[in-house]
Amino acid sequence: MDHSWISPVFWIWFWIWIWTGFSSAEEEVLMNTKLETSDLRWTIYPSSDPEWEEMSGLDEEGNSVRTFQICPMDTSVSHWLRTRFIPLRGATQVYVEIRFTVMECSAMPSSFRSCKETFNLLYYQSDEDTASSTHPAWMENPYSKVDTVAADFLLRRGGEKKSNVKTVRVGPLSKKGFYLAFQAQGACMALLSVRVFFKKCPSVTRSFSSFPETLPHSLVQQAEGVCVPNSAPTDQAPPTMFCGEDGQWVGPPSSSCVCKPGFEPLDSDRCRACGSGQYKVSIGGSLCRVCPDNSNTHSPGSSVCVCRPGFHRAASDLPDSPCTRPPSAPRSIISQINDTVVTLEWSEPLDRGGRSDLSYSVECVRCRGSSCVPCTDSVTYRPGQVGVVGRRVIIRGLLPHTTYTFSVIAQNGVSAVSHTSPASSSVNITTSRDVAVPVSGIRRTKASESSVSISWTIPSQTQHSILDYQLRYSLMDQDDGWQYVSSKSSSVVLSDLSRASQYQVQVRARTSAGYGHFSPAASISTLPDDEEPPSRLLLTGVLVAIGLLILIAVGIVAVFCFRRSSRRRDPDPDKSSQFLMGQGMKVYIDPFTYEDPNELVREFAKEIDVSFVKIEEVIGAGEFGEVCRGRLRVPGKKENYVAIKTLKAGYTDKQRRDFLSEASIMGQFQHPNIIHLEGVITASCPVMILTEYMENGALDSFLRLNDGQFTPIQLVGMLRGIASGMKYLSEMSYVHRDLAARNILVNSNLVCKVSDFGLSRFLTENSSDPTYTSSLGGKIPIRWTAPEAIAFRKFTSASDVWSYGIVMWEVMSFGERPYWDMSNQDVINAIEQDYRLPPPPECPASLHQLMLDCWQKERSSRPRFCAIVSALDRLIRNPASLKITGRISDGTSHPLLDQRPPPSLSHCSSVSDWLRIIKMERYEDNFLQAGFTSIQLVSHISTEDLLRIGVTLAGHQKKILSSVQMLRVLPY
């Protein structure tokens, strides 16, 4: 066969082969002649006279390719060309892309009969490669025809040289492979390339679901996906998506997956673990968040942040709420006792633990000596004993004259889950002894030989109504033979008595608070057989009177002997009363009336073994040496904090005596508002005085530190304590002489105790005045001292009352200096001219009136300490009275005005200067560290800023903000 004319045409077309996009991610190629480099080994029919001719050439990229061409002379015969077996690899429909050229029939020589410009494409399916040159038969059945393929562009000489590309779909196919067949029936053509491929949906990740590569077996093929790592399905069913016949995924997945807790979405297809210090609580598309306060994570991918040690979450707290801790102890418990009713009030804990669900509970124990038992159910609490939201509880049903310890416990939502014991503050209270007023006026109204009728006066009882009376009687001087009788009325008839006998009778009343005390014994007698003649009665009376006189004389002689034996020196006759136990009242003994004051130290101060004491830190400077805090552990007793005053080395004998005299004075006092002496150490060096430790130190500095922090009722509670201590001292005939806030110590429960008994050593011993005269001269604390004490050195309890008035003023002004910066002389002159300190800001008028009473010029007009205590008790019972502020003019004194110019802010150039002027220098570091480094910046500060930088006390905030207001109007 002569093909010489064709060759140039085909070769030309060969090189103008246009190669377009051939493969894509969605296509899998089953056969591609372009990639074959050796013979294609396709089968040609008829084999006897093969017209299809395999040829090699180079495509435009220079690759060697195999092609077939045909240009049969005999067009009456079908010329078949069949590919090799094409395995389907699971595909059920394939695409055949044919690149070919066809000669235009009109361009063919006329010898070409029945010239055609089309060819047929057929296929034959088979599970195995079984075809041969004779099988299957070369005809349309068993082959299946796909299409008759016509060329869009025909070749003609001198015409445009363009190849055709046709893609036809073959299928559905059901066997493992197939053969393609090209049937030319008169076409003069060339097959430049044949590519067989199928389309598939590639593996894809959508909406956090991964779908595998999927072959579309039908129009749309459903594929099942899985959630990407660290995600989970939102539905029970796994996600599905459709794979279209064109290899394209159709639509979004049926259900989606979302990131698990601890993981956040990244690139919309991946879930990334939350970093350390971050968490994500819920499943879903939200992002990781920074751990809430006081919590952290131990590893990446955390769904919850774990609380730092000491912090917790309550069961009801959400996982994204901050961790919190139990509150600190309630502060400053104030107690009021009214017979057997106790009212407790306290201040909020400094630290609420970061929660708002703060509540309190009250625990009550009854103590006798060192053994305590929980209070019984008869004790009631209002509004309740536990879960109290307010800061006040009234406790009723207590036994009279009994010591209780009340603990106020602060709790919040995490107290239950915290393993630490809840913080509490305690207060010891002894209920009133005088539950019922003692009965008096016991008298005989009728008598016979064996019976007497007795009646008594009904006590004027204000607190409780009297339920009944109990009467006891016994024969005179037979105290162990008491008989008891009860009566609802104020009279009783005693029968079965002995004739002409003297009985002692006592009566006591019972109220809802319990029994009061028995009255003093009254002597009641029964009648003899006959009334005795008056002369005999008179004789008996005379004899009794003589007996009594003898008794009194013996008593006086005994007291005289006692005084002589206890005083080694010649005593001042006017001070002798100090040694007497007058009517049961103990009286203070002045150590300097003892020849050897050490004797008094031995009598009143316990010697403590130095090995029981551990000194911890220096807390102050005393007149004789350092004051330290330490611990005292006496074997068999609870360890206690103590304050330790030391006597510095190199002391003289006199200094040692003076130093220890304070202990011998203090040791004589036993009162809750007087500093308690633990003991002394004199057997070793240094000599020490140990007293109870007062956590809040001196009252003046404590108040300045807590400026504005206490309510008037709390301040009155403190003043009441001081007055009560002073009442005790005055009853012991002790004159303090240096009563001032600096000499009052405050403990953690805000209990104030009088201290500093050092001044008394300056008392003159040879004064004939029963009150004392000072030899202190210029050392008198002028601002605190009554005018008569300054002028005539007349120190009495009444001059202590004056000083107490000054202490009241110090307390109500939170530690302001009395008379500000006036000179001592100006103070003396002002007082002389009846000027008196005005009420401190927001001071209740009733308290200022009490101050003015204490500052009466005439000392006998000043109230006594017992009256001051009662007045303060009345105010505490009626807190509404404390709401009235302002000055009440009593007509006898004039208000002294603070004549200091207001602090000039315009001169302060720095924040430090300004803070010093407004006495808030303690916050200097807070301001500077928070960036408030200039006055200009400070002038814009707000309450929130103050809170943030750590100024949490309301009084201090008020002070700073009001000064800031002034700064704003100054020209900076």
Interface residues with ligand AMP (CB under 6 A) are: 619-620, 622-623, 627, 643, 675, 691-694, 697-698, 745, 755-756
**Peptide bond preceding 172: is omega within 30 degrees of 0, i.e. cis?**
yes
Residues 374 and 952: their CA atoms lie apart, in Å, by 37
Decide whether 619 or 937 has the Cβ nearer to ligand AMP. Answer: 619
User: Do the annotations mark residue 624 as ligand-binding?
Assistant: yes
Q: Exposed, middle or buried, 316 (CB in 10 Å: 0-12/13-18/19+)?
A: exposed
Contact between 776 and 843 under an 8 Å Cβ cutoff? The reply is no
Bridge partners for 272 per DSSP: 264
Shortest gap between Cβ of 736 and ligand AMP (angstroms)?
Answer: 13
Query: Is 622 annotated for ligand binding?
Result: yes
Nearer to ligand AMP, 441 or 620 (CB): 620
Looking at 461-585, which runs of residues are DSSP E strands?
A: 466-475, 483-487, 491-494, 502-511, 514-515, 522-525
444 forms beta bridges with 454
Least CB distance to ligand AMP at residue 662 (A) = 8
Say how far apart CA 408 and CA 971 lie, in whole Å. Answer: 51
Tell me which amino acid residue 969 is.
V
- In the complex with ligand AMP, which residue's Cβ is closer, 59 or 692? 692
Question: Taking Cα atoms as reference points, which of 85, 67, 55 lies closest to residue 17?
Answer: 67
User: Which residue number, 263 or 728, has a Cβ lying nearer to ligand AMP?
Assistant: 728
In this complex, which beta carbon is closest to ligand AMP, that of residue 375 or of residue 690? 690
Are residues 368 and 460 in contact, defined by beta-carbon separation less than 8 angstroms? no
Residue 711 beta carbon to ligand AMP: minimum distance, rounded to whole angstroms:
24
738 is catalytic: yes
57 is in an annotated binding site: no
Alpha-carbon distance 845 to 851, whole Å?
10
Q: Tell whether residue 301 is among the known ligand binding residues.
A: no
Amino acid residing at 452: V
Helix 797-812 / helix 845-854 crossing angle, nearest 10 deg: 150
Pull the structure tokens for residue 368.
Answer: 């006798």
548: which residues sit within 8 A by CB, 6+ positions away? none
- Annotated ligand binding at 626? The verdict is yes
For the four alpha carbons of 655, 657, 660 and 665, in that order, the dihedral sign comes to negative
Closest contact distance (angstroms) between CB of 721 and ligand AMP is 15
Residue 353 CB burial class (10 angstroms; 0-12, 13-18, ≥19): buried
Question: Is 188 or 745 the residue whose CB approaches ligand AMP more closely?
Answer: 745
> Which residue number, 514 or 721, has a Cβ lying nearer to ligand AMP?
721
Instruction: Closer to ligand AMP by CB, 730 or 755: give it.
Output: 755
- Is 26 flagged in the annotation as binding? no
Q: Look at the chain and count its residues.
A: 972
Which tokens in the block code for residue 789? 């004490």
Spot the catalytic one: 339, 738, 800, 945. 738
Label each residue of 902-968 as H, E or C: CCCHHHCCCHHHHHHHCCCHHHHHHHHHCCCCCHHHHCCCCHHHHHHHCCCCHHHHHHHHHHHHHHH
Beta strand 204-206 pairing with 154-155? unpaired
Q: Is 955 annotated as a binding residue?
A: no
Q: Report long-range pairs for 55-64 (Cβ below 8 Å, ≥24 apart).
A: 55/10, 57/11, 57/14, 58/14, 58/15, 59/14, 59/15, 59/17, 59/19, 59/34, 60/15, 60/16, 60/17, 60/19, 61/19, 63/34, 64/37
**532 belongs to an annotated ligand binding site:** no
The answer to whether the annotation marks 623 as part of a ligand binding site is yes
Annotated binding site for ATP: 619-627, 645
Annotated binding site: 619-627, 645
> Which residues are part of the catalytic machinery?
738
